[in-house]
Amino acid sequence: MPMNLIKSFMIVAATSAAFTALGSITDRETPIPTSATDIGTSVRAVIKAQEAAWNRGDIDSYMNAYAHSGKTVFVSSDNVTRGWQTVRDRYKKKYDTREKMGLLTLSELEVTSLSGEAALVLGRWSLKRKADNPHGRFTLLFRRTPEGWRIVLDHTSTAEK
């Protein structure tokens, strides 16, 4: 796409976002940001809320970060878990005690805005537990949904023991 077309589109998108924000105040809805800076802030807030939910043992609130869709995907090792409900069930089964959940830290977040509708996050995860300290990396694809920015794909890898 020529650069001037991209610029025109960005201006139109920015103007549209401003109108959406104004509209939202009237409608008493929370505006969902579309600028790169605001996307970064929103996405980081979702991840921080997710970390806090985990650390109070609340997997259901943790799962709020994922899009409530049959297309949501969780990838690890050679496994693909498909659908929000199935991803939730996997977490509930794998982490069925507070000891197994441990203390989660999500850090080194790098957010890349891909459009007004999608963003990619690379980050590090670490679980502090009595028995061990598993850790690794994750790549998250976020999409703008009517509920806010939500994870539609999570690829998580773990350091070898």
Contacting residues toward a second copy, per CB under 8 A:
1-2, 5, 9, 12-13, 16-17, 20, 34, 73, 75-80, 112, 114-118, 120, 122, 124, 135-137, 139, 141, 153, 155-160
Minimum CB separation of residue 9 from a second copy in Å reads: 6
Comparing CA positions, the residue from 135, 68, 81, 75 lying closest to residue 106 is 135
Kindly state the smallest distance separating residue 25's Cβ from a second copy, in Å: 17
- Whichever of 61 and 158 has its CB closer to a second copy, that residue is 158
CB 104, CB 127: distance < 8 Å: yes
Structure tokens at 59: 């997997």
Least Cβ distance, residue 60 to a second copy (angstroms): 26
Task: Round to whole Å and give the CA distance between 23 and 15.
Answer: 12
CB of 57 to a second copy, least distance (A): 25
Give the shortest CB-67-to-a second copy separation in angstroms.
13
**Alpha carbon distances (Å) from 59 to 92, 93, 102, 107:** 7, 11, 12, 19
CA quadruple 32, 36, 37, 42: dihedral sign? positive
Nearer to a second copy, 49 or 75 (CB): 75
CB closer to a second copy out of 12 and 25: 12
How many residues are there in the chain?
161
Contact 123, 47 (CB under 8 A): yes
What is the rounded CA–CA span in Å between residue 80 and residue 87? 10
Residue with Cβ nearer a second copy (53 or 95): 95
Q: Which is nearer to a second copy, 61 or 156 (CB)?
A: 156
